[in-house]
Chain A
Amino acid sequence: GAVVSQHPSRVICKSGTSVKIECRSLDFQATTMFWYRQFPKKSLMLMATSNEGSKATYEQGVEKDKFLINHASLTLSTLTVTSAHPEDSSFYICSATPGQNEKLFFGSGTQLSVL
């Protein structure tokens, strides 16, 4: 079945550094991908919709300069957390769908810890 690969699964970084998270659709093309963040014992919160070849659409309250999204190809979207701070520590999850009226496939998530 369709698979979405997310990398890295875990990253620890120092405050002030930037971290890039990759999300790949392995066996289908995804013109749209979604990025979520999740705090412990909380639900997934949609951060942005990533559109291939165009700018991402961010949800209200999500800083676009803080969370840079690039969707340069039909199989890859990246989320860069710029100048990370401890409050950015969270579980980040991407998802993609093969087409309209199709279910979402999710990556395995990235646990970001900022020291």
Chain B
Amino acid sequence: DAKTTQPPSMDCAEGRAANLPCNHSTISGNEYVYWYRQIHSQGPQYIIHGLKNNETNEMASLIITEDRKSSTLILPHATLRDTAVYYCIVQAGGYQKVTFGTGTKLQVIP
């Protein structure tokens, strides 16, 4: 079973920041928070991941609460191409299997 909870859908105006929340209250100490997204009819794409510190890369920022029970993915300036389903996943190290929850369908509106 998925270990994360996300809102099923969100809208965001083009050019504005998109903030996607994720709850992972049962996360273990050795589990990372990963974010992937899936554009229609394609394989998922990695966005960002973190353990306890906030992270930023060319695509997004990841804010993890101090207790690690929730996180927020931030797309600073959403474009129409960011319309996709976004999946938050907790994943331990090693080769453990990765299961997906229902994700958040982000619709970027012109």
Contacts and interface: CB of A to CB of B under 8 A. Distances in A.
Nearest to B48: A103
Interface stretch (A11-19, A62-70, A76-84, A93-101): A93-101
Given A100-B93, A100-B94, A106 B44 contact: yes
Contacts of A36: 100
B34 to A, nearest CB: 7
Given A100-B93, A101-B32, A46 B41 contact: no
A93 B97 contact: no
Contact of A93 (B43, B93, B99, B101): B43
Interface of B: 32, 34, 36, 38, 41-46, 49, 85, 87, 93-95, 97-103
Given A43-B103, A93-B43, 16 more contacts: A4-B43, A6-B43, A32-B95, A36-B100, A43-B100, A43-B101, A43-B102, A44-B38, A91-B41, A100-B94, A100-B95, A101-B93, A104-B36, A104-B98, A106-B44, A109-B41
